[in-house]
Structure 1
C-alpha cells in the first residue's frame, strides 16, 4: 500500500493495478433521477476536486442516465494524466428499445464498448465490468467477447457485479478451463447494514484473489446519520423519494447506526466516516465506491481514510447483524 498526502492506494485484488482506496462513483452525474446532481458543470468540478485529492479510480456505467454519466466523466478527465487514471464502466443494462438493446451477448458487448469509449473520450477502458448476470447468454460467449477486448487492447481488466456465488464461481472456472481472461474484481452491495454478501460472494473473492469494490458503502445515505428513527425524511433527501434508502429503516439497522454514531462521537468523526472506516477495515475490501454530490461530502468521505477503528469498535458495529443469503427482501 502506498500513500500520497491524504490519499492512500492499494492494488486491485491480485493484479498489479494501483487504485485509490476510495473509488469515485459516477452514477450521480446525470439527470435521470431527481436526487442526481443535474448540473453538468458542477459534476465536472466535483470530479476535478476528486482528482486533486488523489482519487485516481472512477466508476460509471453505460446505463447511468443512458450514457450521460460517461460523457460527463469523459469531459472531466480530458485534460488529466490518462496514465494515472483508472476508468471503469459497465455493460448489460437497457440502452435502447428493441432486440439487442441489452444483455451480455457478443454483439451487445462489442457494440457497447465502442459507444462507451467514444463517450469517455479514451482509447481504452481500464476496468470493463458486466453489470449483472445474463441468464439468456452463455457465460462462454460473454467471456469470449471480453477476452477479445483485452487481447485487442480496448480493455485492460474485466470485472463483474452483483450475482450469486455459484454464478461467479462458474465464470471463474470457465475462464480457467477455456483460457479466457479472468474477472479481476467484483462489485457487490456491501456496507455495515447490508452484509448479505459475507454469506455469498465475499468468500469466493477472498479465496480467488478477486478485488472487491463495494457499491452503496453508505447504504443509500442511511449510514450518514442524516435520518432519524421516528421522523419522516426531509424533502430533498434521497430517502424522501427512493425506496432503496427507506428499506434500510429497520430496527436491526437502526441498532447498527446507534453504534456507529457512538463511535463517531467518541472519535470526533462523522457517522459516514466511521461507516467507511468499518468497510475499509474488512480484509477483502479494496476500494469502496463513494457517491458524493457536493465538495463537503467528498472531503468528508476522504477523511474516513484517517479513521482507524479498534477491533472492539468494529465488533460493536457488526454485532447487531447476522449475514444471510439471500438477504431479506432480495431473494
Structure 2
C-alpha cells in the first residue's frame, strides 16, 4: 500500500480510502466489521463516514454508520491510533438533522459532539463539511444556468464561512478534531475558506472530496489544479459512478439489493442514454485487455495527477476485494489510450 500526505496536514493516508455509507442499511455490523478488518489487513488506514449515513439517508438510519464504526472501535481499542478517521457534518435540507438548518459555528460544535459519542472516540482526524450552505454544481446541477449564481449573496455566504471556521477552530483547540476539509464544493468555496483562514488565523482546509469518475470528470482540470497549487488533498468519491461503471445496471438491470433498487434522494440522474453508451465502450475496453471493469475505472482514477486517495465502497466482501485489487498494478498505456478516446467521446454523459 502506498501512503501520501493529506494536503497541508502532516497526516499520511493510504491511496485507498474505505467508504462506509452502506453500513446501517445495505450492510450490518458484522459486514462492516469484516470490511474494516480486511481493509486494515491490506494496509488501508483511511476511513470515511458521515453523520448523515447510511445512504439513502433517512431519519431511521441517521447516525447508524458512525455507530457501527464506534462499535468496531470499542471492540478494537488498540486500532484507533492506526487509522485516520474522517467524518462529515450534514449541510441544510434534512428536517430531522438540526431542523434542516444551515451549517454554522454552533452546529459544527453540536455535530462534532454527537459524532464523537456515536464513534466512541475522543477525536476525529478529519472533519468535513458534507456540502455547502449554498447550492453547489453537484448531483446533476453542473449544467449551464441550472444555478443562478447572480442570485447568490456572496457576502452573506462568506460571513457564514467565517462563522463555520470559528466553530471548527473551537473543536480543534479542544482536541476534538485534528483537521478540517470540504466536500461537494467548488474552487470559489476552497479559495474563500483559504482566504478567511489566512486573514483571521483560523484552521486551513486540507482536503476536498467530490464525485469523480470516468463518467463525471468535471473537476479536471480547474478544481484539481486549484487543489494542487493550494496543497489541498483531492479525494474522489463514487469512482465507480454508484456501480454504473461495473456494468451491473446495463440494459435496465437492477440486481437485488443493489443501490439503484433503493430510493434515490436526487433520482437516478446518472442513468442516461449517453451513460449507457459510455459504459458499454468501457466494458469493451476492459474485455479487450482482460481486466475487470472495476480495475479499469478505479485504475484510471488512481493515476489522475492530483488525486490523493480514492474513496471506495462495497456491499460484499467480494466487491471489496476486487476494488482493492484494482489498485495493485497501474493500468498500461494501451488501456489508458483506449480510455482517453472514449472519454473524449463522452466527456460528461450525465
Please state which band the TM-score falls in when normalised by the shorter chain.
Answer: 0.7 to 0.9
Deviations along 1:272-313, whole A, 9 cap, x unmatched? 111100000001111111111111111101101123123442
- 2:85 is aligned to 87
Check if 1:30 corresponds to 2:51. Answer: no
- 1:148 is aligned to 170
TM-score (norm 2): 0.82
**Residue pair 1:14, 1:210 contacting (<8 A) in 2 also:** yes
Q: 1:98 to 1:286 in 2, by over 3 A?
A: closer
Q: Using the TM superposition, give the Cα deviation of residue 108 of structure 1 relative to its aligned residue in structure 2, in angstroms.
A: 0.7
Deviations along 1:43-80, whole A, 9 cap, x unmatched? 22222222222211111101113111001011112314
- 2:62 is aligned to 66
Return the alpha-carbon distance in structure 1 between the equivalents of residues 232 and 259 of structure 2.
Answer: 32
**What are structure 2's unaligned runs of at least 5 residues?**
54-60, 135-156
Return the alpha-carbon distance in structure 1 between the equivalents of residues 227 and 341 of structure 2.
Answer: 23
Q: Using the TM superposition, give the Cα deviation of residue 164 of structure 1 relative to its aligned residue in structure 2, in angstroms.
A: 2.4
Q: Using the TM superposition, give the Cα deviation of residue 134 of structure 1 relative to its aligned residue in structure 2, in angstroms.
A: 1.6
- Of residues 66-75 and 93-102 in structure 1, the stretch that sits farther from structure 2 once superposed is 93-102
Return the alpha-carbon distance in structure 2 between the equivalents of residues 303 and 202 of structure 1.
Answer: 25
Deviations along 1:61-103, whole A, 9 cap, x unmatched? 0111311100101111231422221000000346764866543
Return the alpha-carbon distance in structure 1 between the equivalents of residues 202 and 79 of structure 2.
Answer: 30
Return the alpha-carbon distance in structure 2 between the equivalents of residues 175 and 328 of structure 1.
Answer: 37
**Residue pair 2:90, 2:129 contacting (<8 A) in 1 also:** yes
Return the alpha-carbon distance in structure 2 between the equivalents of residues 209 and 309 of structure 1.
Answer: 26
TM-score (norm 1): 0.86
Q: Using the TM superposition, give the Cα deviation of residue 120 of structure 1 relative to its aligned residue in structure 2, in angstroms.
A: 0.6
Return the alpha-carbon distance in structure 2 between the equivalents of residues 278 and 149 of structure 1.
Answer: 37
- Of residues 66-75 and 301-310 in structure 1, the stretch that sits farther from structure 2 once superposed is 301-310
Q: Using the TM superposition, give the Cα deviation of residue 328 of structure 1 relative to its aligned residue in structure 2, in angstroms.
A: 7.8
Return the alpha-carbon distance in structure 2 between the equivalents of residues 314 and 45 of structure 1.
Answer: 33
Q: 1:323 to 1:55 in 2, by over 3 A?
A: farther
Map of 1:133-212 to 2, 5 A cutoff? 133-135=132-134, 138-198=160-220, 200-212=222-234
Count of residue pairs the alignment pairs up: 316
Check if 1:223 corresponds to 2:245. Answer: yes
Q: Using the TM superposition, give the Cα deviation of residue 193 of structure 1 relative to its aligned residue in structure 2, in angstroms.
A: 0.5
- 1:238 is aligned to 259
- Of residues 122-131 and 251-260 in structure 1, the stretch that sits farther from structure 2 once superposed is 251-260
**Residue pair 2:278, 2:349 contacting (<8 A) in 1 also:** no
- 2:151 is aligned to none
Deviations along 1:135-194, whole A, 9 cap, x unmatched? 466110001111222222111111100122212211111112222111100000101111
